[in-house]
């Protein structure tokens, strides 16, 4: 098999589908939740329910469209038709959301919520110069809500009793944790004012949710076919490396999304028009699709792999005599189950952070969210290729366990960050990017390692069904916990579930790569 080499160029072009998917989801996760909470006034829990809508659809549709694409026969291939139709519908519907967003923005501006937010943001950004009387004026007088006033007074009492003073040596009312709690109270108050506005004019919310449904339905139709395309055209021994390239493409899409939000000034503001982000994302999705169609001939690529499989006897799960799939053993089924459970638990932890950071960072740490996310994605991009190579050397399971342990440490340490130590969020998220890259490069290849070329779509659908099930639960569960205990519960919540995923991963016995001894230069060997 010395002449069988990994084709980087082909994998990059195939990865364009994943590029546009991740670019979309990065934009979606960071602005939709903010619109729902700040402009429509939904609580963390209620916004979490709507943010889970895509995953409710996905858990049903991803396995379905994965299976349908397995059975599809067309002159464009099995996966390409789904990618084309899904991308076109999603892009145009996503841009349409900007019109509803603009209408709701006008309403909150007319209600005076914007000016109140700007005033408070300035004060929270530099609270050390504020006196207790000023805080009383803002919290007790401006917020004429009894429950919030009582909560604020309990914070004051807590600080005056010396519990925070003795621990943090603070002499001001604006201490460490009390500052975060007061910020939490105030932003919840602004959301309540927005909700009062929405209740009197629900038409915009109905339109917004309706368009969201169309967008999410379209995205669900082609995610499994897009991801299944990589193993369709890649020999098994190269799939970790190919998955590294695919994830690299996805991270590049996410970075472009974050960069656009930064350029458009959407990082730390809540009551601005998001039209530039909606339109730019939709246009770039269409451009990526055009390049994909120009460079990827699915039928030709699949045929080339079939010839390689026959020549080198690459598929161990096909009976050479009957040419039928060999059923999984009991041990293999158990390993597959624990792989999927691990995927479920680490996605519960990770998605809670990615879907809430745009709300958490500005309001709890007084910083924009786009630069920290950019750091995380950049770190992931730098590490994808080395991780793919290291996985071929040390094995997928060991690398995943390392990544999960690192992710737990990152999330656990982030809980202790405050406005005074917020700069540490950058290295924390950099290591988070490395950890998540390590997990992603190896987890999907492990799940489809037991599949044959005939049922890759089905196994891909199972993988994403478990990841999407987690992403159904976590926005709702984390949202209600944040409503009950405040935004500070976010990182401990994520840490617990990541630790559980480490435990379930220990029980996986199959799906690892066969480690071949080879020199360093061979690891970088590419097609001429």
**How far is the C-alpha of 25 from the C-alpha of 359, rounded, in Å?**
16
385 and 244 Cβ atoms separated by less than 8 Å: yes
37: enclosing H helix or E strand: none
pLDDT tens digit sequence for 289-320: 999 999 988 888 888 877 766 665 555 444 44
- Which pLDDT does position 47 carry in this prediction? 84
Q: Kindly indicate the confidence band of residue 524, based on its pLDDT and cuts at 50, 70 and 90.
A: very low
Q: Which residue, 240, 289, 281, 223, is CA-closest to 257?
A: 281
| pLDDT score recorded for residue 93 | 94
150-195: pLDDT as tens digits? 554 454 444 444 444 343 333 343 343 445 556 666 677 777 788 8
CB 157: neighbour CB atoms within 10 A?
Answer: 10
Q: Residue 325's beta-bridge partner residues?
A: 318
Pick from 100, 144, 137: nearest CA to 119: 137
Among 109-118, 189-198, 373-382, 386-395, where is mean pLDDT lowest?
Answer: 109-118
Can you tell me the distance from the alpha carbon of 527 to that of 334, in angstroms, rounded to the nearest whole number? 37
Query: Is pLDDT of 287 > 90?
Result: yes
pLDDT score of 326: 59
Residue 80 to residues 15, 75, 92: CA-CA distances in angstroms? 13, 10, 19
> How much is the pLDDT for 215?
92
Class level of CATH domain 8-109+203-523: mainly alpha
**pLDDT of res. 292:** 93
| 382 CB burial (10 A radius; 0-12, 13-18, 19+) | middle
Residue 116 has pLDDT above 60, yes or no: no
- What is the per-residue pLDDT across 218-266, written as a single tens digit (0 to 9) for each? 998 888 888 788 878 887 777 767 877 887 788 889 889 988 888 887 7
Q: How far apart are CA 87 and CA 343, in angstroms?
A: 26
Every domain of the chain with CATH number 1.20.1250.20 lies at: 8-109+203-523
Q: Supply the mean pLDDT for the chain.
A: 77
């Amino acid at each position: 098999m010395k002449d069988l080499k990994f084709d980087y160029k082909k994998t990059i072009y195939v990865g364009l589908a994943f590029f546009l998917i991740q670019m979309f989801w990065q934009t979606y996760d960071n602005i939709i939740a903010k619109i729902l909470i700040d402009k429509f006034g939904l609580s963390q829990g209620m916004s979490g329910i709507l943010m889970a809508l895509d995953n409710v659809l996905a858990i049903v549709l991803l396995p379905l469209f994965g299976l349908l694409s397995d059975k599809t026969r067309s002159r464009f291939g099995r996966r390409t038709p789904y990618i084309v139709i899904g991308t076109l519908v999603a892009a145009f519907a996503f841009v349409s959301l900007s019109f509803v967003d603009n209408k709701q923005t006008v309403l909150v501006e007319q209600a005076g919520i914007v000016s109140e937010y700007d005033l408070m943001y300035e004060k929270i950004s530099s609270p050390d110069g504020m006196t207790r009387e000023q805080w009383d004026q803002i919290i007790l007088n401006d917020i004429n809500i009894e429950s919030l006033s009582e909560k604020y007074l309990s914070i004051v009492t807590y600080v005056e009793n010396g519990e925070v003073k003795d621990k943090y040596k603070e002499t001001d009312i604006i201490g460490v944790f009390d500052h975060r709690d007061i910020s939490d109270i105030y932003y919840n108050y602004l959301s309540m004012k927005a909700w009062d506005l929405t209740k009197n004019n629900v038409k915009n919310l109905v339109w917004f949710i309706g368009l969201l449904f169309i967008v999410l339905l379209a995205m669900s139709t082609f995610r499994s076919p897009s991801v299944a395309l990589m193993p369709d055209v890649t020999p098994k021994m190269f799939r970790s490396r190919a998955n590294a390239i695919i994830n690299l493409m996805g991270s590049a899409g996410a970075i472009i999304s974050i960069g656009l939000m930064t350029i458009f000034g959407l990082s730390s503001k809540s009551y601005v028009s998001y039209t530039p982000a909606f339109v730019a994302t939709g246009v770039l999705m269409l451009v990526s699709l055009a390049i994909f169609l120009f460079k990827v001939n699915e039928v030709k690529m699949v045929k080339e792999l079939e010839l390689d499989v026959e020549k080198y006897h690459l598929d161990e799960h096909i009976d050479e005599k009957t040419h039928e799939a060999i059923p999984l053993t009991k041990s293999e089924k158990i390993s597959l189950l624990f792989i999927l459970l691990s995927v479920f638990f680490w996605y519960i932890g990770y998605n809670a952070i990615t879907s809430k950071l745009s709300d958490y960072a500005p309001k709890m740490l007084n910083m924009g969210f786009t630069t920290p996310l950019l750091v995380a994605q950049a770190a992931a991009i730098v590490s994808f290729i080395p991780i793919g190579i290291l996985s071929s050397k040390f094995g997928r399971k060991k690398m995943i366990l390392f990544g999960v342990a690192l992710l737990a440490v990152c999330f656990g340490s982030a809980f202790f960050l405050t406005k005074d130590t917020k700069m540490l969020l950058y290295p924390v998220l950099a290591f988070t990017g490395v950890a998540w890259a390590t997990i992603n490069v190896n987890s999907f290849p492990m799940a489809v390692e037991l599949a044959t070329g005939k049922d890759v779509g089905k196994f891909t659908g199972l993988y994403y069904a478990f990841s999407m099930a987690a992403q159904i639960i976590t926005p709702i569960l984390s949202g209600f916990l944040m409503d009950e205990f405040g935004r500070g519960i976010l990182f401990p919540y994520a840490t617990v579930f990541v630790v559980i995923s480490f435990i379930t991963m220990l029980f996986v016995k199959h799906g690892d790569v066969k480690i071949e001894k080879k020199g360093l230069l061979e690891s970088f060997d590419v097609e001429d």
